[in-house]
Amino acid sequence: MNFPTLQYFSTLKSALSVLFGDAAIARCHRISGGDSNEAYSLVLTDQTTVFMKVNSQKNASYFEAEAAGLAAIARTGAIRVPHALGFGTEKGSSFLLLSFVGNGKRVSEYWEQFARQLAAMHRAETKGLTPGSSFGFFCDNFIGSRPQVNTLCGSWTAFFRDFRLEPQFRSAESYFDKKTRKEIGRLMDRLENILVEPKRPSLLHGDLWSGNFLTGDDGRAWLIDPAVYVGHAEADIAMTELFGGFAPAFYDAYREEGLLQPGYERRRDLYNLYHLLNHLNMFGPSYLSSVKRIIGTYV
């Protein structure tokens, strides 16, 4: 599967000139939300609205990775995502330009449609995303502000152990006492007795909580801020349940799609251990008790 190279621009002015001709910025509005980037809506003189993310120049690779993730989701044809227009650097900053997703009124059966579209994405072909293997992604990316390693692997259990939990445990080592380190070792040794291999590999959004989807002008769900990789569909659903959860209708509809395997509820917290460890490494010890609680339930 070939992905188009995201066009690089040396200045925002040159990006707008190439992408929109003579149009220039008429109005710029700061948009709140997001932990990693500043966000703006740019209204151009031709009345086009563009969404722009801004980060430091050294973090321009965040935007290349995000664009690759959006392109992977878009190619499934299953669910909507913004279109990455281009990225660049200017005066010590980096920027990513995206098509603007409006804020519409949700259609009837919104949650059911969202679930079925996500399930269709999870059923989509993944071979071109993981050449020669089943799990991972053709490039590394980021989970929040931290690197996410997507080394290709033939086993879901091995991938989740070696490229999800292990790097996070290593980064968080200073938080753990001797007792917890022993429990971590026991957990890692018995992952094969807890996790199951999926019936088919799935493209995952990778960071699917309530802050990473929008309702567009069309009234339907749009996915944003992906941390994509190919894995077990259950990991995406587990993440939706971590910080408050989605509407019950979403889960009822998704279960009807048959992608959750028996025992999912037993595995859910283990999938979310990855995200809680990542939050521990990003934000500090307020997440430590949750991490230790989950470790304790599996050893």
Report the alpha-carbon distance of residue 65 to residue 138 in Å, rounded: 11
| Catalytic residue selected from 46, 177, 207, 269 | 207
Sequence-distant (6+) residues with CB within 8 A of 158 are: none
Q: What is the spatial distance between Cα 249 and Cα 242, in angstroms, rounded to a whole number?
A: 17
Alpha-carbon span 65 to 42, nearest angstrom: 22
Instruction: Please state whether beta strands 49-56 and 221-223 pair in parallel, antiparallel, or not at all (unpaired).
Output: unpaired
Residues with Cβ within 8 Å of residue 1, at least 6 apart in sequence: 75, 127, 128, 129
207 is catalytic: yes
Instruction: Tell me the catalytic residues.
Output: 207
